[in-house]
A = this chain, B = another copy of it.
Amino acid sequence: MPPLEQLTILAPGLLGGSVARAAHARAVAKRIVIWARRPETRLRLREQPWCNAVADTPAAAAQNASLVVIASPVDRIVPLAAEIAGVLPPLACVTDVGSVKGEISRHASKLIGRGAHFVGAHPMAGSEKTGWEHSSAELFERRTCFVTPLPDTDATAVDRVARFWSDLGAEVVTVDADKHDEIVAHISHLPQAIATTLCSFLAKKNPAWRNFAGGGLRDTTRIAGSDALIWRTIFEQNRDEVLRALQHFEDELHGFKAALANRDYVEIAARLERGKAYRDQFRPAP
């Protein structure tokens, strides 16, 4: 794809900063314009080689954008879409990095209107570290990026946004916004709920025991160190799908416990084998 004339990034954290670095490193855009909420962040962004200009408002940043990435936490995506809706050039595309897509896509699409297009996205990359200071030009490489149109989203806009993310190095998976929410409830939000719950339980039981743990507990609980506010909002936004996934996980765990209670070690072994077969098929880490 020829480079974008102007890429605008709103509210860069780890993901938005990485979009800017990757776009700069891969010459995806001729010009990168960024807006950040805090004046002191704006000052520091001005000094970055991957930032051509810093704007004082979201609207000023979006004014001449070919493509806008709203990189804020999920609860700020729709308000930011509202702030820029009036100034977008015709045919501009707006995408985001939010972990939840259904409701947000419907609201944002309505706000962005007809001339420009909202096409949601969700790169499955990140870290328990937050902030643009930890961002990296390689963050998206060989990572899945969901692109999540609604049934009536303009097909050309979907293609442009999908191409943008693949130009940053991601492996794009295009999937309906509501289906996306079901998938991430299982492969991302459920593991977070489990890791958090294991930690909050062990904290209650005896926190000193963590010092004896091997690599197993360390890895199983790593994501419990993630930012609590970000995750509170994700659970709020994807409540129904997460509740369903939790219910089914509880049923599966109850089955394991029942087999153990009944001394049914053939069943325990079968579950261990099933889990191992599933885990062994993971593709190698990027």
Q: Given A197-B249, A212-B124, A213-B187, answer yes or no on A243-B229 (Cβ-Cβ < 8 Å).
A: no
Chain B neighbourhood of A209, CB < 8 A? 183, 186-187
**Chain A count of residues within 8 A CB distance of the other chain:** 88
Report the minimum CB–CB distance from A72 to chain B (whole Å).
18
Please determine whether A193 and B256 come into contact, CB atoms closer than 8 angstroms: yes
Report the minimum CB–CB distance from A46 to chain B (whole Å).
31
Please determine whether B263 and A253 come into contact, CB atoms closer than 8 angstroms: no
Alpha-carbon gap, A261 to B225, bound state (A):
23
Alpha-carbon gap, A225 to B220, bound state (A):
12
Interface assignment of A30: CB less than 8 Å from any CB of chain B: no
Q: Which one, B205, B213, B279, contacts A222 given CB within 8 A?
A: B279
Q: Quickly give the copy total for this chain.
A: 2
Q: Given A224-B275, A236-B265, answer yes or no on A216-B192 (Cβ-Cβ < 8 Å).
A: yes
Please determine whether B221 and A279 come into contact, CB atoms closer than 8 angstroms: yes
Chain B neighbourhood of A281, CB < 8 A? 207, 210
Q: Which residue of B lies closest to A193 (CB)?
A: B256
Please determine whether B194 and A248 come into contact, CB atoms closer than 8 angstroms: no
Please determine whether A214 and B200 come into contact, CB atoms closer than 8 angstroms: no
Chain B neighbourhood of A60, CB < 8 A? none
Interface assignment of A40: CB less than 8 Å from any CB of chain B: no
Chain B neighbourhood of A279, CB < 8 A? 195, 199, 221-222, 224-225
Interface assignment of A1: CB less than 8 Å from any CB of chain B: no
Chain B neighbourhood of A285, CB < 8 A? 215, 218
Chain B neighbourhood of A278, CB < 8 A? 199-200, 202-203, 207, 210, 224
Interface assignment of A280: CB less than 8 Å from any CB of chain B: yes
Chain B neighbourhood of A253, CB < 8 A? 193-194, 197, 246, 250, 253
Q: Which one, B212, B274, B283, contacts A187 given CB within 8 A?
A: B212
Show 7 A/B contacts (Cβ-Cβ < 8 Å), sorted by A. Answer: A186-B209, A191-B221, A192-B216, A198-B275, A200-B252, A220-B222, A246-B260
